[in-house]
C-alpha cells in the first residue's frame, strides 16, 4: 500500500522563510531612515557594524540596556493598535542609558511571534524606527522569530537592546548626591510601559475603549531633554521612573544615610492615573510603588544649578517640576508627602 502522506516541510510546520524574507524587504526603508554615516553596510555580514564616534571623549565607555514592553502588548493586540509599542520598546531602553549620561548610538530588536503577520509587525517596526529617530540612534539590526507552539497564532513579544557612549569621567551614578540637593522631574506621557498587569484588571470593556488612546500612548523618549540638560547643567544623578517607581527606581542612585523628600502636590497627575486609582481602589503607596504618576525622568542637582536648569527649560519650552530635596534619614530612602504632615 502506497503511503499518501505529504512530505513535511518547515512551511507546513508553521514557519514560512519566504514570508520572513518578504517582511525584511518591506521594512528596509523605515529602518534605513534611522541610519547615519556611522552605520557600516557590508553585504553578507552576520553582525551589525557601527563606527565609534570620534567625539566620544578621552575614555569612552559603552553603556548598554535590554528591556521589553511587557503586558501592554496584550492591550495593543486587543485594541488592534501596534505602532505605538515599537516606540515603547525603544524608549524603555534608551531612557535607561540616558540615566548614566550616555549618548544613544544604536538599537537592535527581537520580535517573537506565533505566526508572522506582516501588517501587524510592519506597524511594530515602523514604531521602532520612529522611536530610534526620536532617540537619535540607528536601528542597525534585528531578529524576527516565528515560533508556532511557543506562542499563539496572534501573539508576539518584543525585546530591545540599546547601546550608547559616555566619557568615563562623566558617568552618572548618584555617588555625589548630598544633603540639600534638589529633585527636578520631567512629565511622563502617561503610564509609559509599566504596571499593565494591574491596569488590565481595571480598564476593561467600555472603560478600556474610552481611555484606549491614553492607555496606549507611547513612552516618552527623553534624549533631547537629557542631552540638553547635561550640556548646560551639572547633574549629580538621573532616574528613569519605571517598575518599582518612587520606592525602587528613584532611590537606586541614593547614597546611604540620605532620603528623597518629595512633595507630591508639586506636579499635575494625568487624569488617567486618578481614574485607575479610583476604579481599582488602589492605595497611594501602591500607586507610587507601581506607576510613574506623571513623572518620567528625575534629575538631582545642587541648589546652585537650579536657576541654570530653569533657564534651560524655559528656553526650550520644557515642562518641569521641582519635586523636593535630599534630606538625611537613616530608616527611609523616600518620603512622599501628600498633605502637610502626611507622608508615606
- Give the predicted TM-score (pTM) of the model: 0.91
Question: What is the pLDDT, as a whole number, of residue 71?
Answer: 96
Domain 182-343, CATH among 3.30.70.360, 3.30.70.20, 3.40.50.2020, 3.90.650.10: 3.90.650.10
Residues of the chain whose pLDDT is less than 70? 1-4, 339-344
Q: In which element (H, E) is residue 134 found?
A: helix 118-135
> What does the pLDDT read at residue 6?
77
Distance CA 270, CA 334 (A): 22
pLDDT at 344: 38
Question: Among 168, 173, 136, 141, which residue's Cα sits nearest to residue 62?
Answer: 168
Nearest to 245 by CA among 188, 329, 317: 188
Question: Could you say which of 3.40.640.10, 3.30.1330.10, 3.40.50.150, 3.40.50.1820 is the CATH number of the domain covering 17-43+52-170?
Answer: 3.30.1330.10
The whole-number pLDDT of residue 343 equals 38
What pLDDT score was predicted for residue 340?
46
Percentage helix, strand, coil for the chain under 3-state DSSP, each rounded to 5:
35, 25, 40
Please report which helix (H) or strand (E) contains residue 83, including its range: helix 83-98
pLDDT given for residue 31 in this prediction: 86
* The predicted structure's pLDDT at residue 2: 56
| Domains of the chain by residue range | 17-43+52-170, 182-343
What is the reported pLDDT for 176?
Answer: 96
Amino acid at each position: 500500500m502506497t503511503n499518501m502522506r505529504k512530505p513535511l516541510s518547515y512551511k507546513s510546520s508553521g514557519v514560512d522563510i519566504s514570508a520572513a524574507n518578504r517582511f525584511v524587504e518591506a521594512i528596509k526603508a523605515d529602518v534605513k531612515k534611522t541610519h547615519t554615516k556611522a552605520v557600516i553596510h557590508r553585504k553578507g555580514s552576520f553582525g551589525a557594524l557601527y563606527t565609534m564616534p570620534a567625539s566620544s571623549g578621552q575614555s569612552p565607555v559603552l553603556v548598554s540596556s535590554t528591556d521589553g514592553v511587557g503586558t501592554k502588548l496584550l492591550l495593543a493586540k486587543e485594541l488592534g493598535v501596534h505602532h505605538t509599542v515599537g516606540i515603547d520598546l525603544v524608549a524603555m531602553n534608551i531612557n535607561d542609558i540616558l540615566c548614566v549620561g550616555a549618548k544613544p548610538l544604536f538599537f537592535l530588536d527581537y520580535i517573537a511571534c506565533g505566526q508572522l503577520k506582516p501588517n501587524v509587525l510592519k506597524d511594530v517596526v515602523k514604531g521602532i524606527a520612529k522611536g530610534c529617530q526620536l532617540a537619535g540612534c540607528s536601528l542597525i539590526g534585528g531578529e524576527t522569530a516565528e515560533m508556532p507552539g511557543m506562542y499563539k497564532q496572534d501573539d508576539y513579544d518584543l525585546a530591545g537592546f540599546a547601546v550608547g557612549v559616555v566619557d568615563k569621567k562623566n558617568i552618572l551614578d548618584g555617588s555625589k548626591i548630598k544633603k540639600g540637593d534638589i529633585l527636578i522631574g520631567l512629565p511622563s506621557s502617561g503610564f509609559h510601559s509599566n504596571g499593565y498587569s494591574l491596569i488590565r484588571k481595571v480598564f476593561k470593556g467600555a472603560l478600556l475603549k474610552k481611555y484606549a488612546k491614553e492607555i496606549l500612548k507611547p513612552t516618552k523618549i527623553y534624549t533631547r531633554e537629557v542631552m540638553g540638560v547635561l550640556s548646560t547643567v551639572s547633574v549629580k544623578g538621573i532616574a528613569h521612573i519605571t517598575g518599582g517607581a518612587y520606592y525602587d527606581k528613584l532611590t537606586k542612585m541614593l547614597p546611604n544615610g540620605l532620603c528623597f523628600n518629595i512633595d507630591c502636590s508639586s506636579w499635575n497627575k494625568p487624569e488617567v492615573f486618578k481614574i485607575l486609582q479610583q476604579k481599582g481602589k488602589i492605595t497611594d503607596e501602591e500607586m507610587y510603588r507601581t506607576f510613574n504618576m506623571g513623572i518620567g525622568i528625575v534629575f538631582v542637582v545642587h541648589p546652585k544649578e537650579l536657576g541654570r536648569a530653569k533657564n534651560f527649560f524655559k528656553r526650550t519650552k520644557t515642562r518641569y517640576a521641582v519635586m523636593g530635596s535630599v534630606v538625611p534619614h537613616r530608616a527611609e530612602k523616600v518620603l512622599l508627602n501628600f498633605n502637610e504632615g502626611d507622608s508615606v
